[in-house]
Structure 1
Amino acid sequence: MVPSLAQWSEQCAAEYLQLQGYHMLQRNYHSRYGEIDLIMCRADQLVCVEVKARSTDGFGAACEMLNDRKQIKIYKTALSFLAQYPKYGEYNVRFDLICFDLSKEIAKNVQYRFAKRTYDLCWIENAFTLDADLINLC
């Protein structure tokens, strides 16, 4: 079975981070607030990763698709993860974004074998942080 664009991009992001020395803790972690695509760790860092994939057809780059509301959901979901797994409570938590910008031809037809296509990957460490005022908006 050929993976969807979302499945493919999450798998590529996970593999890329593992090559950078990160260890996978959870994939598609769900809470009542939302979902975190990847939760990784390395040393004393807990990294919550949002993965975005978009076609480059004029609707904006993938890195532009993470709005304030989604950031709040990710943050609250991370708090849920930490409550469920208190052993990570002392870790430094970081919120990263990994983006894939693909040609419209590839992104719109999930029957392509993505691994054989070219794409741009952008990893934004510390893509966002939230202060108390923003968290209280939701």
Structure 2
Amino acid sequence: MENNNTNNQKVAANAFAQTFFHGTKADLHAGDFIETGVNSNYGQKKEAKYIYCTATLDAAVWGAELAEGDAPERIYLVEPTGSIEDDPNLTDKKFPGNPTMSYRSKHPFKVVGEVIRWQGHAPEQVKAMKDHLEKLKQQGIEAIED
């Protein structure tokens, strides 16, 4: 579908595709691919069967803040190269309807840019979330990786 703007230039509706974010501590560049098969930043740090993205900046901020390591937190704009599905870790009975708009895929995500300016959560919020995740880990509750 096309629409004329005030300058009589045609703009394709598909130019406004969904934006996806990936929060991490990895140092990536435009054109790089985020792929499965590397060790996860979470849980038991096993080889990742899926890679994750979100359509909300807040969820990407959490991804960056909760990633392991001392490297700077980063948020990338990514483009899925294949199908994506709802992230079952965030769409169970606690969060019906996927309010965080979080997804996973077995297909690579292409890095198309980086969000340079973003606001992190308050340090006490990050600590509370990390403490909660540690408690779940001690209870044997890990991320779903079916």
Per the TM superposition, whether the score is higher than 0.5 is: no
Instruction: Give the TM-score normalised by the residue count of structure 2.
Output: 0.28
Structure with higher helix content: 1
Computing the radius of gyration over CA atoms, which structure comes out larger, 1 or 2?
A: 2
